[in-house]
Structure 1
């Protein structure tokens, strides 16, 4: 199973994003624009995971989710990978709000997955929602300008989702498991945090 952990923006935030993306699509229609159903805020990409490993993985990720409180987030601004917009292959919407806590959640999810034997990347976490891709890389400066200013309302992210990616299918993403963020929503006390 090809898996990742993500947060989803609420419908009205996706509507704000859609308005901007429509401007960008009109300006540069030949980019590979991601449909709204693919607008996820990825916390950790897990790649291919053997199905028999999934129960242990979901237990570890669930404990980690319960150790983090809900987050206040907003979609804000645009960015690219690489950061030089003149030679970029990915265009994304940025986030603001509880971004330090969001980074801690992403780091915790990575550590939880690694603790079950699932290999994960260890590059710096950049919170984003991918809206378009280009192959080969190209100058996306004018496209980013055409998108205009992005600032959504602030929302409270209360759940994390384990998602399965199924390329080539109409329903490309399937939710495998959902966990509430924060132990105040669960009678089980928070896990002990290691200081070593």
Structure 2
């Protein structure tokens, strides 16, 4: 019998009204851009730690250490920042919106999660932590992306209070693709 596993990551889910505002911006300002894959707006989130394929038997222990990590932090506020990209500006690999607000609190939460999961064998990524909300992947357009996309727009800028983070499982081929397995309230 093979060990069952699920592809998991920790993240901050966006409130529904922020998902909707971001979706409206995508629909209005980005509708002419061609990307291989657009994120389902119900999946909009800020990744904390990608955990990869996790054996089902490990999940209860993982949840236990994440409860402890959450307990070290109180709520903080975040906002949706400007558009950005990974890859080449004219032909980006990933199009995203950044994160504003109490970034230091976000970084501290990120560090606590890394410290909590490391004894269970989860390794932090090599690259620096760059919190963002992925909107689309693999630009396939013929023409470069117009520079106006990178100019700031404040239709999505209402900050919100982050009172929890979640453990998501990836469900390939489903919409929305991410399912919340567990929620961890920030307690302090």
Tell me whether the two structures share a fold, i.e. TM-score over 0.5.
yes
Aligned 1:1-196 pairs, distance under 5 A: 1-82=6-87, 84-134=88-138, 141-142=145-146, 145=149, 149-150=153-154, 151-183=156-188
- Aligned pair count reads 182
Q: Which moved more, 1:144-153 or 1:108-117?
A: 144-153
Which stretches of structure 1, 4 residues or longer, exceed 4 Å deviation after superposition? 135-140
Residues 91-118 of structure 1, C-alpha deviation per residue, up to 9 Å, x if partnerless? Answer: 0011110011101111221221112112
Residues 21 and 147 in structure 1, CA contact (< 8 A), matched pair in contact too: no
Tell me, in whole angstroms, the C-alpha distance in 2 between the residues paired with 1:23 and 1:148.
Answer: 15
Instruction: Please state how far the C-alpha of 1:147 moved relative to its aligned partner.
Output: 8.0
Residues 157-180 of structure 1, C-alpha deviation per residue, up to 9 Å, x if partnerless? Answer: 101101100112345222111111
Residues 35 and 140 in structure 2, CA contact (< 8 A), matched pair in contact too: no
Tell me, in whole angstroms, the C-alpha distance in 2 between the residues paired with 1:137 and 1:103.
Answer: 34
Residues 10 and 49 in structure 2, CA contact (< 8 A), matched pair in contact too: yes
Instruction: Please state how far the C-alpha of 1:122 moved relative to its aligned partner.
Output: 3.4
Tell me, in whole angstroms, the C-alpha distance in 2 between the residues paired with 1:112 and 1:138.
Answer: 45
Instruction: Please state how far the C-alpha of 1:154 moved relative to its aligned partner.
Output: 0.8
Tell me, in whole angstroms, the C-alpha distance in 2 between the residues paired with 1:69 and 1:53.
Answer: 27
SS at match of 1:49: strand
- What is the RMSD of the two structures over their aligned residues, measured on CA atoms? 2.3
Residues 6-36 of structure 1, C-alpha deviation per residue, up to 9 Å, x if partnerless? Answer: 1111122122211211124322144421111
| Structure 2 unmatched ranges of 5 or more | 1-5
Instruction: Please state how far the C-alpha of 1:139 moved relative to its aligned partner.
Output: 7.2
Task: Decide which structure has greater helix share.
Answer: 1
Task: Decide which structure has greater strand share.
Answer: 2
TM-score relative to the length of structure 2: 0.86
Residues 136-190 of structure 1, C-alpha deviation per residue, up to 9 Å, x if partnerless? Answer: 798764176288614420110101101100112345222111111123xxxxxxx
Residues 6 and 41 in structure 1, CA contact (< 8 A), matched pair in contact too: yes
